[in-house]
Chains A and B, each alone.
Chain A
């Protein structure tokens, strides 16, 4: 997994509530059995006037010159709701996004993001509004700096940094870029011990292992 320590970049405001994973990457854009090749499908229904012909929708911010290099997404409440497809995270990362800032996130999306090194920051609406106000004045020049060590967001030099809270376990995973499976594999003796006790308690839960 890609570690996340600090990131400075252009932020793209997409301030709709309940942006679902079908909007982030529609099922029809998941064309191969792979975690890659998904960037062109990102936000396809909004980004293209005709998704099949890939005709760009000039109204959509991601298609505007000042947001081309966007790597931070500022979004509405309950971002990533709907389908569990991890492709939503892969499509965002392949398109260069490193962090999403929103008032809240859907649980599965947030879990998927964490396991791929995509930072999700939950921020109060009024704090988010301040970031949006700063960014929209001059998106390319008014960048945002995220620091996961300090849990801070630096934006307008004339204002205080925003501080965010993040689950300590998640923070540790992101900072170190930990592979969760490898981590759990070190505790397999605990799993074996659990199974021995559990099988005595819930024998019916274990199927024969042919």
Chain B
């Protein structure tokens, strides 16, 4: 019987088996950020341990750093500065590469790691951040860990990992015009549930995946953590190889040839068996919008919000009721019935150049401006994204339409105590989590694609762009 892509990656990184289900895996790259990486580095220093291979460890400032123009070490978050200063100090002490606030390549960890060629197909990569699974979109074995595990990886270049089972989710059909990878992943979470991937490494496959551009694959894999999966994966193809070529930390010359040859083998064999398989025809998929407080609380944008009485079980029924109370939405109504207070384009899910291009193209095509009373923000994912967007004039398009144009960072994807939208504020957001209070106390988050968010910002209520 053949081998799955996940099993190939696992075998390639297996230093030794520790028990029937646990192995010591080799970690090729470690990425840290100032929120959780600072704790790992400090703990390492306190125990007088060193980073075993500092050339394989990187750090960025993204979670707490301000995104307001003219920013420095100070943030609106009380004690935010402490995290920034401590991280800088620890990175310096351990000798790892830091993409500091003023660095041209600073940005959101999962945006800059592929951008700089730090994440590559076939590499194992960990970060104390749940969205590390993003890099599975390149065919990397990438997963999120806690600070203690990050410390383990820094000290030993390995992790003790319990082997997950394998799942394949295949998509037949092609995404329609105006329907994106974000809609695809929201639909998948809605179908499989927020715990549907627990204990699994999920490979995405099928014609819809083959057709996805590389950045869209990153968006899709980014949200596999919202399925509670170990990670998400897509077999790398020529598009990915072209994407990785000539990036700063990517192999060059003969090493590149060896890498590219190796990467050709990174796909599941025809006769590979998965522990679980799902397939969906997504040819007629509509834009998705979340109505509740879990990413699984999604509907087609023009569908009615479900009735609690239709919940599959008692626990869901209670959760739906809580969610509808928190969100201030009524069963039977449509999301387009609700006026919007704010719109956010950014985060490790949707802040890459292609995301901004899509949203800006809508503004150009329709000539629409952000509706009166709607606070709208666009936060590019990295310095590189920001400069590329500005070179195309996207910043002017966003600004002229009424969006704020920010410096790179995680920004208001979550509320670290700095900026927030305010209690009861209804936000259309390209982020990944609509949890209670995620974007600030009492904030009502509706997650959607960049196109849906920009269309909603201009309409002043939740709506998909159906003209696209």
Using a CB–CB cutoff of 8 Å, the interface residues on chain A facing chain B are 15-18, 20, 22-23, 26-28, 30-35, 45, 51, 76-78, 81-86, 89, 104-108, 111-112, 115-116, 167-169, 180-181, 183-185, 187-188, 190-191, 194-195, 198, 202-205, 207-210
**B residues whose Cβ falls under 8 Å from a Cβ of A:** 12, 15-16, 18-19, 21-22, 24, 26, 28, 35-36, 38-39, 42-43, 49, 53-56, 77-79, 82-83, 86-87, 120, 122-123, 128-130, 144-149, 151-152, 155-158, 160, 162, 164, 194-195, 198-199, 225-226, 228-230, 249, 251, 255-256, 258-259, 262, 294, 296, 315-316, 318-319, 322, 414-417, 433, 435-438, 441
> Is the CB–CB distance between B36 and A85 below 8 Å?
yes
User: Is the Cβ of A26 less than 8 Å from the Cβ of B415?
Assistant: yes
Residue from A20, A27, A78, A191 with most neighbouring chain B CB atoms (10 Å)? A27
Question: In the complex where A18-B194, A78-B228, A104-B198 touch, is A33 in contact with B433 (Cβ < 8 A)?
Answer: no
Could you say which residues of chain A place their CB within 8 Å of the CB of B49?
181
Q: Are the CB atoms of A84 and B130 closer together than 8 Å?
A: yes
Chain B residues with CB under 8 Å of A181's CB are 49, 151-152, 155-156
Among B35, B164, B258, B322, contact of A203 (Cβ-Cβ < 8 Å)? B258
On whether the beta carbons of A27 and B417 are closer than 8 Å, the reply is: yes
Which of A26, A30, A77, A89 contacts B146 (CB under 8 A)? Answer: A89
Known: A27-B415, A184-B160, A190-B24. A32 touches B82 (CB 8 A): yes
> Inside 8 A of B128's CB, which chain A residues have their CB?
84, 86
Residue of A nearest to B416 (CB): A27
How many contacts between A and B, using CB within 8 angstroms?
A: 194
Kindly list chain B residues whose C-beta atoms are within 8 Å of the C-beta of A204. 251, 255-256, 258-259, 262
**Contact (Cβ within 8 A) A20 B435:** yes
Would A111 and B28 be within 8 Å (CB), given that A18-B195, A181-B49, A191-B15 are in contact? Answer: no
B195 partner residues in chain A, CB cutoff 8 A: 17-18, 77-78, 81, 104, 106
**B416 contacts A180, C-beta separation under 8 Å:** no
Partner of B152, one of A20, A32, A168, A180: A180
Q: Are A184 and B198 in contact (CB under 8 A)?
A: no
CB pair A84–B198 under 8 Å, yes or no, is no
Taking the closest CB of chain A, its distance from the CB of B40, in whole angstroms, is 9
Cβ contact within 8 Å between A22 and B438: yes
Known: A111-B145, A185-B156. A194 touches B26 (CB 8 A): yes
Report 17 cross-chain contacts, Cβ distance below 8 Å, ordered by A residue.
A16-B315, A17-B195, A17-B315, A22-B438, A26-B415, A27-B415, A27-B416, A28-B417, A31-B79, A32-B82, A35-B147, A76-B315, A89-B146, A187-B15, A190-B24, A202-B262, A207-B55
Expressed in whole angstroms, the Cα–Cα distance for A185 and B43 within the complex equals 16
Closest 9 CB pairs between A and B? A28-B417, A86-B146, A78-B195, A204-B259, A112-B146, A204-B251, A84-B130, A204-B255, A84-B144
Kindly list 13 other residue pairs between chains A and B, CB separation below 8 angstroms, not including A18-B195, A111-B145, A169-B18: A15-B315, A17-B195, A28-B415, A33-B87, A35-B39, A45-B441, A81-B226, A107-B164, A108-B145, A204-B256, A204-B259, A205-B120, A205-B122
